[in-house]
Amino acid sequence: MMRQYRFDLVLLVLLAALPALGVYPVFAMKVLCFALFACSLNLVLGYTGLLSFGHAAFFGGAAYFAGYAMRDLAWSPLAGVLTGVATGAVFGLIFGLFAIRRQGIYFAMITLAFAQMFYFFCLQAPFTGGEDGLQGVPRQTLFGVSLDHDLALYFVVLAVVAATFALMSRVIASPFGRVLAAIKENEPRAISLGYEAERFKLLAFVLSAAVAGLAGALKTLVLGFATLSDVHWSLSGSVILMTLVGGMGTRFGPVVGALLIVSLETKLGDIGNWLAQATGWQAFTGLGSMVSVVTGVIFVLCVLLFRRGIVGEWLVWTQRWRTRRGNATRPAALAGAVKG
């Protein structure tokens, strides 16, 4: 446990030092927002066993409502972000009441159907801006600190994401989290032990939706807009990909997956231009338009080679290495004890 806390502290210090290391703060904030989004899905997919194809509705709905509150109602960033959290929680409750009694592909299809209905609502609603999106969301000030400066906003976003991640880790390690794990492993047995599985799954789903809403509200605050791509079904697929590639059911798997996918979507064109200059092959300049192909290849490789995801495979490998190391040192220790 102490080793885990040390690792978390080192990671937090490293994230705080990213702007000083030359990382563009807006890009870092975007990664943090999508990492939080992926962690929200991991709560229901990795720890509860519910495949939701409608998480984009929570993310994008919170992005729209938070942006509307901050731009048109002139609410503070804190009130706008809390509006996004409430929006995600309410949507999660509505979706969950209809979907939670189903399992597997039926649960996924119900969440997808609700998400698509909300997508068409956002397409037609006057306050969303339709295909143009909701633009020009101001950052304003928070507790007297101007958020117009990217560096100030970065530390605010980092603090919120770190606190939320710590809260989710606490929830997963709590008795509530253990019940969710039991439901995922064997739901009939959990029911036979007296647990109301549907109630626990609904609570987990609402909590996941609220965290996804927080991620969407922060994204609107950072980038200053919300668009239809935030509520499109493809975003639900992207966040599932982040969770699977990083390693579902692990603490940092979704974070690694979000970093990889967002980096590819944002920086793949720059990587292609650099490769073209380094190798002289101009074919690399078109790499930026092949984001979907590259992410698809990465997903296939993970399915074939890293079934548990990047972090999941790493944890299994380290555990095997420690076991082999312990087995190797045990005879030597026993021999030393006999000689002594």
Query: What is the pLDDT at residue 283?
Result: 62
The number of residues in the chain equals 340
Task: Give the C-alpha separation, 184 to 189, whole Å.
Answer: 10
Per-residue pLDDT tens over the stretch 35-44? 999 999 999 9
pLDDT given for residue 201 in this prediction = 94
Q: Residue 309 corresponds to which tokens in the numbers above?
A: 């995801």
- Write down the pTM of the prediction: 0.88
Helix (H) or strand (E) segment spanning residue 329: helix 309-339
- Which of 33, 223, 229, 228 is CA-nearest to residue 138? 223
d(CA 238, CA 210): 19
Look at the alpha carbons of 153, 259, 220, 212 in this order and tell me if their dihedral is positive or negative: negative
The DSSP symbol for 53 reads: S
How far separated are the first and last CA of the chain, in Å rounded? Answer: 34
CA 104, CA 180: separation in Å to the nearest integer? Answer: 16
Residue 134's DSSP bridge partners are 226
Stretches in the chain below the pLDDT threshold 70: 1-4, 269-270, 272, 274-275, 281-289, 327-340
Are 195 and 63 a contacting pair, CB within 8 Å?
A: no
pLDDT at 315: 82
Residue showing tokens 């709560």: 43
User: In the chain, where are the structural domains located?
Assistant: 1-325
Q: How many whole angstroms separate alpha carbon 96 and alpha carbon 205?
A: 7
Q: What is the pLDDT of residue 328?
A: 64
Q: Please report, for residues 19, 157, 198, 206, the alpha-carbon distance to residue 177 in angstroms, rounded to integers and kept in the order given.
A: 35, 26, 14, 14
> Which tens digits make up the pLDDT trace of 45-81?
989 989 999 999 999 999 999 999 999 999 999 999 9
Closest Cα partner for 59 from 205, 242, 254, 214?
214
CA 160 to CA 84: how far, in whole Å?
14
| Topology of the domain covering 1-325 | ABC transporter involved in vitamin B12 uptake, BtuC (1.10.3470)
Which pLDDT value is given to residue 338?
42
Q: Is 237 exposed, middle or buried (0-12, 13-18, 19+ CB in 10 A)?
A: middle
